[in-house]
Amino acid sequence: MLSQTIQSKIGTRQSEMTSVYAYLEKPSMVDYPRHFAAVFFTSGCNFSCGFCHNAALMGKKQAGLSREKLEEACSKFKKDWVNGAVITGGEPTLAPDLIELILFLKGRFGFDVKLDTNGSNPELLEQCLPLIDYVAMDIKTGFSGYPALVKYKETARIQKSISLIREKAPDYEFRTTVIDSFHTDEQMDEIAEIIRGAKRLALQAFIPRENLPNRKFTLLPRTPSSRLNELKERMTGCADEILLRGA
């Protein structure tokens, strides 16, 4: 569970709070390609994904770490040879101090910064793109499936974010967590058309866990490797590179 893997938040005066709710205690070698990275979580999300592995960070925004506590954590990571920082969530583009946070991580500590996003806030994303080094945007499903799967209907905003990333991101990936019972060939074909011409697509295995927010997803099987490999073959040509994770 999230609470077992992250450093707990520290309460301080509101004026000293950042939007970083928590962080992984140990640096990650898998969350940021070619980086040994610190992973920072913001809280609050405008999607309702029943299969979210960070369910504790969904819903309302929660009080974050103090600036002092965040600086202490970053100083420790720097001593541990960390060279990258991942801002994830929740949905980071809901954080009012996101740009300030990016500049803090880059300017104060020299970290390369990767931003994870669901693509629902293209206006703020566009401001962030010149400042960050890598962006990973979730393509939850084909646009026709967004209302059912994540309870979000404004897919024109998702399309705008896709276009911005393709045009302006220094480096990036789009990624889809494949749920075998939902991500039909038709849905995956729709995704292929949505991102066609992209640099990179990551197809990720769905892994059931007991603490997922919607119980029906806890009962589903893990995405078989055979399905991921089948989709990689099927979607060849929609991106320069197709990666498999959890296969």
CATH of the domain at 72: 3.20.20.70
Q: Is residue 77 part of a domain?
A: yes
Q: Is residue 137 part of a domain?
A: yes
Q: Is-contact 87 98, C-beta < 8 A?
A: yes
Q: Is residue 1 part of a domain?
A: no
Q: Is residue 4 part of a domain?
A: no
Count of residues in the chain: 247
Q: Is residue 3 part of a domain?
A: no
Number of domains in the chain: 1
Query: Which pLDDT score is estimated for 61?
Result: 62
Q: Which of 101-105, 140-144, 217-221 has the lowest mean pLDDT?
A: 217-221
Q: Is the pLDDT of residue 58 over 80?
A: no
Q: Which domain holds residue 124?
A: 10-245
CA distance 188 to 172: 20
Q: Is residue 5 part of a domain?
A: no
Q: Is the pLDDT of residue 12 over 50?
A: no
Q: Judging by DSSP bridges, how do beta strands 134-138 and 112-117 pair with one another?
A: parallel
What is the reported pTM?
A: 0.91
| Confidence band for 13, pLDDT divided at 50, 70 and 90 | very low
Q: Is residue 2 part of a domain?
A: no
Question: How much of the chain, in percent, has pLDDT values that exceed 70?
Answer: 90
CA distance 204 to 184: 15
Query: Which pLDDT score is estimated for 56?
Result: 61
Average pLDDT over residues 166-182: 96
pLDDT (tens digit, 9 = 90+) per residue, 230-242? 999 999 999 999 9
Q: Is residue 198 part of a domain?
A: yes
E strand residue ranges, the chain: 6-7, 20-24, 37-42, 84-88, 112-117, 134-138, 172-178, 198-205, 239-245
Q: Is the pLDDT of residue 196 over 50?
A: yes
